[in-house]
Structure 1
């Protein structure tokens, strides 16, 4: 008759439970897998499938504790936070491109034009939503979702489940948040420069001809030049996202080192 001890049951549960929490944390925050159009049951099923596939190749952490214990709950919370932080690293890339859309729309005079975004269930500016959808398409075309899954699986090698003990990763995540503003400014800089020159030209024309109606001439001119500049800058979006995927891999490694630091 097969007999199982409490220690064996706890080891088997820890071998599956802790990896599942890390995977599910990524699925909760990653901009692709966390879309509202993707049902929660699908995400939970994908997390269970990935946990089952990798659980057999993972060693049981020497710090493994019973699941229902203060130490076991602490390990579970840490694993969930590790997955959430990895997902937020990828979300920062999407948010940086959306920031570029906000800046461009504000300078073009389209900051007030909003549409309902079904992906985020909120109203977003038109250009920000356009950049968000463009980023999603480029991200899938570059197999970014596979990059996220690969980084997640490699995280179990760099930082096995149950071995996280540090909190320096939170500082790394906060510092990486500056990428949002840097990415937004870099992507929108060509359009902002063109619009700045346009506004200076309109100001000179208004000074030379005071009877010129600024609102009747300036808004269509600004809008037209802004759209042309945005169209000419679109080919540089894909290389930028590709570069950011590489930055995500390096930032993820630093993040895991921060979690593992004692």
Structure 2
């Protein structure tokens, strides 16, 4: 009984990091998963991790509450950086929607409750299926498990004011837009050529109503290009998963101060 009481403070810190990680992490943070299931899964995962990591013996005092806040921030930041990288898929869909003419119609994402572009939601759903097929959700759980090798439980603070950490987060933010541009470039570039062709037609054949003809032509061309480049997009998505895991590892290294 005394051993359980002495181990409870350390277990609580592990539990806080795991559950806060599930608040932001893609796939595990969705509203369609009941909160009780998230807490239960986090509890059993924390219980397994507690006996596999080198956990120090801690006491409940004033500094312990600061450690709880630090663990919650660590879990949220690691989950957020993973979500930030995967958000490139929805941004790419937003670029495509804007050129296709679908930007006027958004859908409500049932997983997050936020508005999402049509093509962005379509590509994001396919990417999540692909993530499950390649066991990417296991790799994300591995990320929170191996975070204890970089960020110890008794570390008292997170170096928010560290210049390298701020620069790293900004680079991750900019890489998200760069990947989104790379994913949407085949469709956006093709639609730009369609716009140029429609402009030439409008000047040479004034009797033709380009505004009526242009929208279905652009939608048809965009779907044809999407079908042709979907395999290439999946290659980019697989590299996106690798970028996500690498970014998580780099952020944990900077937080741990190593």
The one of 81, 84, 99 equivalent to 1:107 is 99
1:28 matched residue in structure 2 = 23
Moved more, 49-58 or 161-170: 161-170
The yes-or-no answer on 1:244 pairing with 2:240 is: yes
Cα deviation, residue 234, structure 1: 1.1
Contact 1:92 1:179 in 2 (8 A): no
The Cα offsets for residues 99-152 of structure 1, whole Å up to 9 and x where unpaired, read as 011100110111112223211223322212111211111111111100101111
For 1:187, the equivalent position in structure 2 comes to: 183
CA 1:84/1:258 → structure 2, altered by over 3 Å: closer, same or farther? same
**Of 165, 172, 181, the match for 1:176:** 172
User: d(CA) in 1 for partners of 2:156 and 2:99?
Assistant: 45
The separation in 2 between residues aligned to 1:233 and 1:36, in whole angstroms, is 32
String of CA shifts for 1:36-62, please: whole Å, max 9, x gaps. Answer: 000011010011101111112323337
Decide which of 94, 115, 122 is 1:130's aligned counterpart: 122
Q: Give CA-to-partner distance per residue, 1:53-98, whole Å, 9 cap, x none.
A: 1112323337x442xx331111111111111111112212321000
CA contact 2:82–2:248 (8 Å) conserved in 1:
no
Q: CA RMSD in A?
A: 2.0
Per the TM alignment, residue 210 of structure 1 is displaced from its structure 2 partner at its CA by 1.7
Tell me the TM-score normalised to structure 2 length: 0.91
TM-score with structure 1 setting the length: 0.90
Aligned length: 254
Q: Deviations over 1:140-185 (max 9, x none)?
A: 1111100101111111122222225322445533431222211211
Deviations 1:166-218 (A, max 9, x none): 22445533431222211211100000110011100111111111222111221
The answer to whether the aligner puts 1:253 opposite 2:245 as a matched pair is: no
Q: Which moved more, 1:116-125 or 1:230-239?
A: 116-125
Deviates more, 1:238-247 or 1:39-48: 238-247
Greater displacement, 32-41 / 130-139 = 130-139
Structure 2 gaps of 5+ residues are none
Where does the alignment leave 5 or more consecutive residues of structure 1 unmatched? none
